[in-house]
Structure 1
Amino acid sequence: MKVTIWNEYRHEVEDAAIAQIYPQGIHNAIKEGLSGEGFDIRTATLDEPEHGLTEEVLAQTDVLVWWGHKNHRDVQDDVVERAYQRVLDGMGLIVLHSAHCSKIFNKLLGTPTCQLRWREADEKERLWVVDPAHPIAEGIGSYIELPMEETYGEHFNIPAPDQLVFISWFEGGEVFRSGVTYHRGRGKIFYFRPGHETYPTYHNEEILKVIANGIRWSAPTQSATPVYGNAKALEQVKPKT
């Protein structure tokens, strides 16, 4: 399975404290964490030509993993359109943390923004598995506990998800739909909330396990190919009298 991990890769360059947590960038931390999963992984970042997501790269990508935070507007619309069409054609998409505001996620969900409540207060997060039979939750216990994370809280302004896999509870009292799935065209999408850049979340084995499960779940399958537009009748149509 061919996986492309995309990351803005600006926080880690501009902030020394974040660089200590992710010295090679969030994208490479996830890549290293998934190294034993049998995926063929490449990375791409915002400041590469075409953001590293050329037509050739996307054509060779089964699942695209997307981390973004502060530079959503810098992503070129033609690259977004390219990724959007690939999802409709069957490419899987894993959307991480603040990429809920990414152009690609908003375009696929049909929402101009995905608002929510948030704060940075080093709060404990407990991600409860609410669909234990879902493949994305395979190998995870009743919950995942993170000692410190950025807090997100409802209302999360997204369309009702096809499936709800995780709900988070935070030390300050908020709850949040932290693991949701969607189908768009022939493609499958998984949004997974944890992963603020100032915390070592992507070094957590359970978080990496969920991402690996999400990649396998969202991978393309030999699904039926829809046909659109003007179509000839399959049977002879009798003329109306």
Structure 2
Amino acid sequence: MNNHLRVTVWNENRHEQTNPKAKEIYPDGIHKAIARFLTEAGMDAGTATLDEPEHGLTDEKLASTDVLIWWGHLAHDEVQDEIVSKVQQRVLDGMGLIVLHSGHYSKIFKALMGTSCSLKWREADEKERLWVVAPSHPIAEGIGEYIELPEEEMYGEHFDIPAPDELIFTSWFEGGEIFRSGCAYTRGSGKVFYFRPGHETYPTYHNPAIQRVIVNAAKWAQPVKRELPIRGNVQPLEQIGAAIR
């Protein structure tokens, strides 16, 4: 019996087809690079991409996914609203969701946040230092005081999101900006984690510390095995005094 955590890595897979630098860094696509290190960590990791039927997110695929990882950028508008609604419902029912980098502007993240999710940005090959601000959180397990990336795209405040339930990482950039880079939420019965790094023309997902964070986040976001709460009109557990007077 396979009891491994079942993770699906979703990627629009467009940059890797059109941008030579992205293709050089991720020849099999960002989704395959992420799935590879998740598999090495003992997870049952599969992939799905935008141009597959139903974006690779069929009812069967979603039903067999414990945690969905999402990377998108160029083609947010091409994601069908019907698929977004199905993913959102699965999250509310307990499936974990990890949104990476430019996925902040995806339909699914905006639907779950209820805000524009807009931010400042700049591509200038600048250093990013992700400071761990919640060192006791499971997502930060095995990470030192900070993760330093020699080159990344800058994302800066103000980031138009609801205040995170838990803030795990805060980034500082060489140009002076800061950013809430690791944001954890609960939505319904599901857990959501937004993790900022991962511009397609930098080898960020080959970095062992970044890989460790994503592995940790997948473990943290997995569904809790329990009976769902009963809602609606119910009979009392105890006899109500008013009913016998």
Aligned to 1:109: 113
Of 170-179 and 79-88, deviating more is 79-88
TM-score w.r.t. the length of structure 2 is 0.95
- Per-residue CA shift, 1:156-198, capped at 9, x if unaligned? 1100100000000000000000001000111001100000111
Of 198-207 and 215-224, deviating more is 215-224
What amino acid is aligned across from residue 87 of structure 1 in structure 2? V
What amino acid is aligned across from residue 126 of structure 1 in structure 2? R
Aligned to 1:66: 70
Aligned to 1:44: 48
Over the aligned positions, Cα root-mean-square deviation in angstroms equals 1.3
Alignment of 1:1-241 (within 5 A): 1-111=5-115, 113-237=116-240, 238-239=242-243
Residues 151, 170 of structure 1: 8 Å contact kept: yes
Task: Give ranges in structure 1 of 5+ residues lacking alignment.
Answer: none
Distance 1:31 1:127 in 2: 23
Q: Secondary structure at the match of 1:146?
A: strand
What amino acid is aligned across from residue 184 of structure 2 in structure 1? T
- Per-residue CA shift, 1:183-238, capped at 9, x if unaligned? 01110011000001111101111101000000000001124512222333334442
Distance 1:12 1:77 in 2: 24
Between the aligned residues of both structures, percent identity stands at: 65
TM-score w.r.t. the length of structure 1 is 0.96
Task: Give ranges in structure 2 of 5+ residues lacking alignment.
Answer: none
Of 216-225 and 166-175, deviating more is 216-225
Aligned length: 240
> Cα 1:223–1:155, aligned 2, differ >3 Å: closer, same or farther?
farther
- Per-residue CA shift, 1:84-113, capped at 9, x if unaligned? 1111111110000011111111111122x2
Residues 123, 147 of structure 1: 8 Å contact kept: yes
Distance 2:197 2:102 in 1: 9
Residues 94, 215 of structure 1: 8 Å contact kept: yes
- Per-residue CA shift, 1:26-75, capped at 9, x if unaligned? 00111122232100011000000000000000000000000011211111
Distance 2:212 2:169 in 1: 14
Residues 33, 205 of structure 1: 8 Å contact kept: no
